[in-house]
Amino acid sequence: MKKSLLTKALLTFSVIGTVFAFSNTVKAADNYELVWSDEFNGNSLDTNTWNYEIGTGSWGWGNNEQQYYTDRNIRVSNGTMKITAKREDYGRMKYTSSRITTKNKKNFKYGKIEARIKMPKFKGVWPAFWMLGANQDSVGWPKCGEIDIMEAINDENLVYGTLHWFNDPGNNNADSGSSVAVADRTEYHVYGVEWTADKLRWYVDGKVYRTMDVSNDSFSEVRKEYFVIFNMAIGGQWPGYNIDETAFPATMEVDWVRAYKKVEETTTKYTGPMITVTEDAVETCSGKWGSYFGSDWAGASGTLKSTDKAVTGATMNITSIGNSQWGVQQYLKGLHYYPGRTYNYSFTMKSDVNKRVFVKVAGDGDEEIFGEYIDLKAGVPYNFSRQVTLAKDMEGVLDLYFGMGKCDGDAAATNSAANITLSNVSFKTTTQIPDPNYNNGESTTNKTTLPSEEKTTTNNGVTTTNNGVTTTGNGVTTTSKVVVSRPGKVSVKKVVRSKNNRNIKINIKKVKGVTGYQIKYSINKKLKKAKTVTTKSVKKTLKKLKKKTYYIQVRAYVVKSGNVKVTGDWSKIKKVKVRK
């Protein structure tokens, strides 16, 4: 829906010229099951599912749209949801309409999303059925990603399907889409998208008109949760401002909207023993605290005094906090974690001046998982303790950040000095996972690190005592304190530049017993905004690299029983010249 400053002519659309006489029915594929729907069978909109968005948004919702959205231009009756656009003066605008979303109420990731819709057709109208990334508020557009399932404009019989994503390192919106002609858009058609981690397939009435490969790391936005939006705009950059005043009132009608998930193939359920693991991600992190001072853009300066162990923290000697929160940063990157678990995050921080600091836990693309301001009093230790829950489907990096520059509401003056000490840092969880040493009914838990004292094993009437964890299998109950082994550290063995100066071949030093390797690369020497690829081989080619110099890290991972992924430490950063 959001087109930024682009026009239809600038988008990469390929029009399918044939007008299909599509059927008005569509059958869900045998390998999909319905997980949610709104059939609009009531007499009002279900506000447990939907939100009304009111007003004109920022610059006409980013598109210079000419309508004012209200909650009175929408109704549910006779089994359909109706959005009606009207010609009326309201809120300094000449038109009214409606826009609804499932934001913060219903999010979706992968599967099929489809709706049965009929819509008006006249100059200036812009109906849409689309999705935005659920992390929109924390990362903004286009970093959140946008999947336009169906858009139509003016009096065309064309409908459009488009993906918007963040073009890094271009630092702007990128988009790609196609259009298809339908027999008559004022009649009902089923518009949908089939969505996997690797592909997007847009279809009308079950017939696919566009397939897009999104397996590249550039499309990381696609592998997040999204929420659904219906709206009907009037005017704007794309449809233009030649609006047919005689067409009002005009109604977009939705019979139903449905979400399906793919039925996975039957897999063998893990029935082996479980172990309890207590792990402090800061204590096990091999990295050190780092710092950033935005001297050129924020006027910030200073130094970091760190120790060899991350848990003991570091001291920031800030000579100027500058004029921006993120002008001064302290960070610890590459923490090992278990998705879906709740962590206890704690530390002690002390400042020699009254100072506000922003505490952030971040994932891929610096996406905020947790964020909170704390206010330090001069000379008084601040003992911080919070619980942070990670998403069950979380992938990629986990980093800790502190924004120590000039924050909103900061007691410290712009460009003033501060000495801030961080200590006793912990990011800890206790959780049960499948025994990583259990294989085909046999447990080799005794190969992991066990204390020599306090062991308890019960078998055939013989009992010994131990401490910590209970596992049960084959009639034998074993309780033991277990430390799960992680893959050994790897290194980049060799990097070869291709003749065309755009590809590099990476050879990784082999580690026995691992499932594969993750490669992280960036044009930034601190690997900010790095892209990550996975390979099961010790050789990997990175293709179509556009910049002269890249920085690379690798690490090994093992997929244990129960699909638990355990990663090793990142290697040292290696600098690679792609072009002479």
Active site residues: 146, 151
Q: Which residues contact 244 (CB under 8 A, 6 or more apart)?
A: 122, 123, 124
Of the CA atoms within 13 Å of residue 564, those in its CB half-sphere come to 24
Token reading at 493 = 């063995």
Helix, strand, coil fractions of the chain, as percent rounded to 5: 5, 50, 45
> Rounded to 5 degrees, what are φ and ψ at 271?
-120, 10
How far apart, in whole angstroms, are the C-alpha atoms of residue 234 and residue 90? 14
How many residues are given for the chain? 580
d(CA 91, CA 67): 9
Q: How far apart are CA 179 and CA 150, in angstroms?
A: 9
Compute CA 438 distance to the chain's CA centroid, rounded to the nearest angstrom. Answer: 32
> Comparing C-alpha atoms, which of 187, 198, 113 is closest to residue 150?
113
Q: 325-340 b/e with 16+ CB inside 10 Å = b?
A: bbbbbbbbbbbbbbee
Instruction: Give the phi and the psi of residue 469 in degrees, each rounded to 5.
Output: -130, 140
Residue 413: Cβ within 10 Å count: 10
DSSP-derived pairing of the beta strands 531-535 and 516-522: antiparallel
- Name the token pair of 338: 């278990």
Give me 64's structure tokens. Answer: 């210079």
How far apart CA 518 and CA 534 sit, in angstroms, is 5
β-pair type (399-403, 328-332): antiparallel
The answer to whether 559 and 479 are in contact (CB under 8 A) is no
Residue 375 CA to residue 177 CA, distance in Å, equals 47
Using DSSP's 3-state secondary structure scheme, residue 227 falls into: strand
Nearest alpha carbon to residue 403 among 345, 326, 291, 349? 326
Q: Give the DSSP H/E element, type plus range, for residue 111.
A: strand 111-118
How close are the terminal C-alpha atoms of the chain, in Å?
Answer: 42
CA-CA-CA-CA torsion for 180, 182, 186, 187, nearest 10 degrees?
A: -130
